[in-house]
């Protein structure tokens, strides 16, 4: 028997990512691609020659993709408490007394070309996971506020509409309110709302750029880990299983 055949004999498949986690991941990928595409077009609407009505339509599309994104993210945040061992917060975030020791051990192993095997996220990957969830949550939160200030859409749109019209419960006046138009608004209230909106849009834009960088780094790290460790890291997000030649440190 050749060494190559022998090494294949030692490979073992382990279940790690449950179906819910895999669905979240790919729905999230699709939503982010859509949000990046539409968001980039909105940011560059003048250069691209997009009309005011076209920009309003793009914002509406952006918001509805965002609703899917937010609901998917909320489900994943909940799943972090009730999912299997490897998708729970204590396993995917850089926390715990032994965390930094595991980082040192992983880096030391990586330098020799033999990083310790992990079934879930390795210690370095946990840092990226934490960053991604912070940025995704920031985008979701600020995006929901902006949906209200831009288009008067849920969950805060009705309250924003009451604010800018100064109508209180005078719903007829709110019905005549149109996104992108200053008609039927109280000028002072509208100016206050736009001032209130500024930190949210600033955070949303800069978090968007930070998320782009984090995604690029995430993809690069996945590719490098897949090539070096050959553990089925990419295919695991389709099949739910990783293939390892050594017993993982985080195995039950």
pTM for the model: 0.90
Burial of 245 (0-12, 13-18, 19+ CB in 10 A): middle
The 8-class DSSP code of residue 247 comes to -
**Tens of pLDDT along 163-202?**
998 876 666 677 778 888 888 888 999 999 999 999 999 9
Say what percent of the chain tops pLDDT 90.
74
Average pLDDT over residues 48-59: 94
Judge whether 177 and 159 are in contact, CB under 8 Å: no
Which spans in the chain are helix H? 3-9, 19-43, 45-48, 52-82, 89-92, 99-111, 123-151, 157-165, 171-175, 187-229, 236-239
In this structure, what token pair is assigned to residue 239?
């099949």
Judge whether 105 and 71 are in contact, CB under 8 Å: no
Judge whether 212 and 33 are in contact, CB under 8 Å: no
**Tens of pLDDT along 32-51?**
999 999 999 999 999 999 99
Q: What is the 3-state secondary structure (H, E, C) of 10-51?
A: CCEEEECCCHHHHHHHHHHHHHHHHHHHHHHHHHCHHHHCCC
Residue 2: band (very low, low, confident or very high) from pLDDT cuts 50, 70, 90: very low
Spatial distance between the Cα atoms of 10 and 26, rounded to a whole number of angstroms = 31
Domain segments of the chain: what residues? Answer: 15-113+122-147+219-244
pLDDT of residue 6: 45
Residue 5: pLDDT over 60? no
CB-based burial, 108-122: b 16+ in 10 Å, e otherwise: eebeeeebbbbbbbb
């Amino acid at each position: 028997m050749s060494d190559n055949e022998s090494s294949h004999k030692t490979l073992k498949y382990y279940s790690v990512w449950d179906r819910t986690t895999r669905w979240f991941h790919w729905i999230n990928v699709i939503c982010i691609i859509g949000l990046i595409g539409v968001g980039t077009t909105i940011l560059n609407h003048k250069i691209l020659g997009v009309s005011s009505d076209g920009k309003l339509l793009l914002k509406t599309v952006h918001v509805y993709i965002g609703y899917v994104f937010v609901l998917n993210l909320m489900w994943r945040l909940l799943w972090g408490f009730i999912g299997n061992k490897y998708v729970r917060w204590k396993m995917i975030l850089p926390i715990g007394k032994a965390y930094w020791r595991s980082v040192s051990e992983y880096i030391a192993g990586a330098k020799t070309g033999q990083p310790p095997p992990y079934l879930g996220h390795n210690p370095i990957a946990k840092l990226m996971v934490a960053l991604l969830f912070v940025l995704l949550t920031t985008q979701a939160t600020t995006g929901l506020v902006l949906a209200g200030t831009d288009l008067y859409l849920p969950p805060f749109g009705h309250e924003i509409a009451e604010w800018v019209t100064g109508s209180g419960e005078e719903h007829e006046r709110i019905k005549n309110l149109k996104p992108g138009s200053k008609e039927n608004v109280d000028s002072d209230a509208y100016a206050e709302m736009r001032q209130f909106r500024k930190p949210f849009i600033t955070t949303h834009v800069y978090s968007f750029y930070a998320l782009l960088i984090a995604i690029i780094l995430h993809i690069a790290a996945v590719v490098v880990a897949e090539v070096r460790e050959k553990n089925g890291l990419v295919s695991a997000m389709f099949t739910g299983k990783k293939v390892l030649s050594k017993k993982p440190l985080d195995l039950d």
